[in-house]
Amino acid sequence: MGNPRDKEGKERVFSGIQPSGDMHLGNYLGAVKNWVTMASQYDCIYCVVDLHAITVYQDPKTLQDKSREAAALIMAAGIDPEKSTVFIQSHIHAHAELTWLLNCLAPIGWMQRMTQFKEKSEKQKENVSVGLFGYPVLMAADILLYDTDLVPVGEDQKQHLEFTRDLAQRFNSKYGATFIVPEPSIPTVGARIMGLENPERKMSKSEGGEGNTIYLLDPPDKIRKKIKRATTDSLRDILFDESRPGIYNLLILYELFTGDEREVIEARFKGKGYGDFKAELAEVVVEGLRPLQSRYKELTADPTYIDTLLSQGADRIRPVAERVLAKAKQRMGVG
Ligand code: AQP
């Protein structure tokens, strides 16, 4: 069933990325690549969620730069801003306003069960803000504001999407049908990319050292160096064996960039050493990122161009958010 508010009858997809650092291969292979695939089939809204990023401290100037960089990278990866909507969350005030309305409806017991909050607050005990606790409510507002049908979610965001659904249903049953209850869309391909130095933990913007993460804008030599130094093990066979997290993670990268079958890859490297494999993987990653990097350069050659695209994106979608917000306020008797 198409979204009743989409002219072409396509279902609507919403997803976001935090500008909390430099975008990396995990973001690309686990999320953005799938966004590109979805864009041909759905009415897609992709949001750079700067309000989510500030739930932990961000240097203000860096945050502004990284927000634009993330938007440009999404477009460079293949999202056409004419066909999909790309915008910065804080450019549409309705996100913050709906968050407040939903805050007043979200039971604190539900919030206390959120595992991401437990993990993140454990890591930064001294500095846990109310905003970090309220992160799932802001995410619910993002999704519900656009009559979203589908939300692509990885393992780590499943609980937040379930929370969004519960909150939408709670609102609808208390105040009357207002929000579309979104469904999760589990990507058919995509993977959890692990760190290069510490393959036991996911590759991340904010965790692990420089050598742990391949950033989308890393120059070729940096990529080669990082892959060369990636942690493996003392064994020799190049096999997709999950019990060997280092080599397994590198093989996943090779698989995702080449699209080759696992048996073909294993056969290709039979009898070869880790050094040969890493050298070939590095070239595959360098070549795989080349088109994205050159498109990024073009898009950012004129520094005002991305801002123009982003303000057009926000202008196009703002009326949807305002209409849904007005309906929610009216239902609650606010205003
Ligand atoms: N290592 C990863 N493997 C696969 N997918 C990943 N994602 C993040 N890291 C990996 C996916 O990228 C999307 C956007 O993520 P986000 O901006 O919400 O940030 P995050 O999930 O909290 O992960 P980061 O990039 O490491 O940021 P920090 O360090 O700030 O927490 C999501 O769909 C996410 O699943």
In order of their start, the domains of the chain are 7-191+303-332 (3.40.50.620), 210-296 (1.10.240.10)
- Ligand 1 in reach of 17 Cβ (< 6 A): yes
Is 207's C-beta closer than 6 angstroms to any atom of ligand 1?
yes
C-alpha 76 – ligand 1 centre gap (Å): 18
Burial class (CB in 10 A: 0-12, 13-18, 19+), 308: exposed
Element (H, E) at 28: none
Q: Looking at ligand 1, which atom is closest to the CA of residue 206?
A: 29
**DSSP element (H, E) containing 211:** none
Instruction: Look at residues 151, 152, 83, 148 and name the one whose alpha carbon lies nearest to residue 309.
Output: 83
217 CB-contact burial (10 Å; exposed 0-12 / middle 13-18 / buried 19+): middle
Q: What is the pLDDT of residue 5?
A: 56
Nearest CA to ligand 1 atom 27: 205
124 lines ligand 1 (CB under 6 A): no
Active site (annotated) includes residue 270? no
CB of 31 closer than 6 A to ligand 1?
A: yes
Q: What is the pLDDT along the chain (335 residues), one digit of tens a residue?
A: 445 555 678 999 999 999 999 999 999 999 999 999 999 999 999 999 999 999 999 999 999 999 999 999 999 999 999 999 999 999 999 999 999 999 999 999 999 999 999 998 988 888 899 999 999 999 999 999 999 999 998 778 899 999 999 999 999 999 999 999 999 987 665 678 999 999 999 999 877 788 999 999 999 999 999 999 999 999 989 999 999 999 999 999 999 999 999 999 999 999 999 999 999 999 999 999 999 999 999 999 998 999 999 999 999 999 999 999 999 999 999 98
| Ligand 1 atom nearest 193 alpha carbon | 3
Which residues touch 292 (CB under 8 Å, ≥6 apart)? 28, 73, 76, 77, 216
202 is catalytic: yes
Question: Which residue in 120, 225, 228, 329 is the catalytic one?
Answer: 120
CA distance linking residue 57 with residue 206, whole number of Å? 11
Q: CB of 276 closer than 6 A to ligand 1? A: no
**Closest residue CA from atom 10 of ligand 1:** 26
pTM for the predicted model, two decimal places: 0.94
